[in-house]
Chains A and B, each alone.
Chain A
Amino acid sequence: MKRILFIFLLCFAGISAFAQEGLYIEDLFEGRVIPLKHMKRSFISGSELHPYGLDTYKSLKFSVDEGDFHTVEVLVMKDANASTDKQTVFSGDHLTYAVICFPPTLTGLNRFLCFQAVKKKGKWDVTVVYLRGTATVEDLDAMFNKKRK
């Protein structure tokens, strides 16, 4: 019985680590920073995303006060430290924009974290997006940057 429990825990830990993909921002997506009911969440995966060169799209939109915003900022900046490429924009002391590229997964998929924040009436309107797929940051920029078109 002990052996079964040990192997179960080993497998659970391994698969959990894979699912979280080692990002600090996963805490936010799991609702450990801001309650899930206070965020608008979207999750798309599968063949619908293939035209975009993606296989996973996760997004969060929420409005928070200064304290919670700082917590989110810290998570994004921690993940930015592990990036291969990043583009960040600060407004004063606050991070207001980030496109962060992570090392590819074991299966060769690219991963990105996008962050956008705008202050309105004392609150921060925040959008956080996690993307995974074969598309590069250049592909995404070509597809979605309206300034280019």
Chain B
Amino acid sequence: MNKNYYKKLSLKYFEATLSPREERRLKAFLATTRDPDFDDAKAVAGYFAAGRAAAGRIVRPASWRWIPVTAISAAAAIAVIVGVHIGKEKQIPGNEALASMENTLASIFSSGTDVETELSGIMNQ
């Protein structure tokens, strides 16, 4: 047993500067040691352990339990949709694309029958 090491850990325990790994090691040691030098640390650690056991599991109101579940589900669904959408459609920036769009729309809106007359007919209905 490296007593100095665990003494150092117990001091850090009271200063709340232990890493989770160090805390696990210290608690494992305190659970087995009978050295009176560690009685104070054992008492405090035992107090918190007993407190946790007495308090039992923290129960949130039923309505709260839906919040994280709903948030995770909605976020996942949005991520999937955005991912699929971006994967399928590549946006084309630039003047070339706009020029192509103008040509296509000009072809559509200028072709066929007299669009102006027919559209005004539709609007007047």
Measured CA separation A87–B90 after assembly (Å): 30
Collect the chain A residues with CB atoms within 8 Å of residue B85's CB: 19
Pick the contact of B101 from A8, A59, A85 — CB < 8 Å? Answer: A59
Q: How far is the CA of A116 from the CA of B103 in the complex (A)?
A: 13
B94 to chain A, nearest CB (A): 8
Q: Which of A38-46, A62-70, A74-82, A103-111 contacts B (4 or more CB under 8 A)?
A: A38-46
Report whether B73 and A44 are in contact in the complex, using a CB–CB cutoff of 8 Å: no
- Contact partners of B108 in chain A: CB under 8 A: 97, 99, 114, 116, 127, 129, 144
Q: How far is the CA of A98 from the CA of B112 in the complex (A)?
A: 9
B107 within 8 A of A: yes
- Kindly report which residue of chain A lies nearest to residue B98, judged by CB atoms: A48
Interface 1/0 per residue, B83-116 and A, CB below 8 Å:
0010011111100011011101111111111111
> CB of B43 within 8 A of chain A?
no
Chain A neighbourhood of B80, CB < 8 A: 12
Total cross-chain contacts (CB, 8 A): 113
Task: Answer whether residue B50 sits at the interface, using C-beta atoms and an 8 A cutoff.
Answer: no
A86 to B47: give the CA distance in the assembly, Å: 78
Residues of B close to A45: CB separation below 8 A: 91
Please report the total number of A residues contacting B with Cβ < 8 Å. 43
Contact across chains for A43 and B91 when beta carbons are under 8 A apart: yes
Residues of A within 8 A of B (CB): 3-4, 7-8, 10-12, 15-16, 19, 30, 41-46, 48, 57-59, 61, 85-87, 89, 96-97, 99, 114, 116, 127, 129, 137-138, 140-141, 143-148
Please give the residue numbers on chain B whose beta carbons come within 8 Å of chain A beta carbons, in ascending order: 69-70, 72-74, 76-78, 80-81, 85, 88-93, 97-98, 100-102, 104-116, 118-119, 122-123
Q: List 19 A-B contacts (CB under 8 A).
A: A4-B69, A7-B69, A7-B74, A11-B73, A11-B77, A16-B81, A42-B92, A42-B101, A42-B104, A43-B92, A44-B91, A44-B98, A114-B108, A127-B104, A138-B119, A144-B102, A144-B108, A144-B109, A145-B110
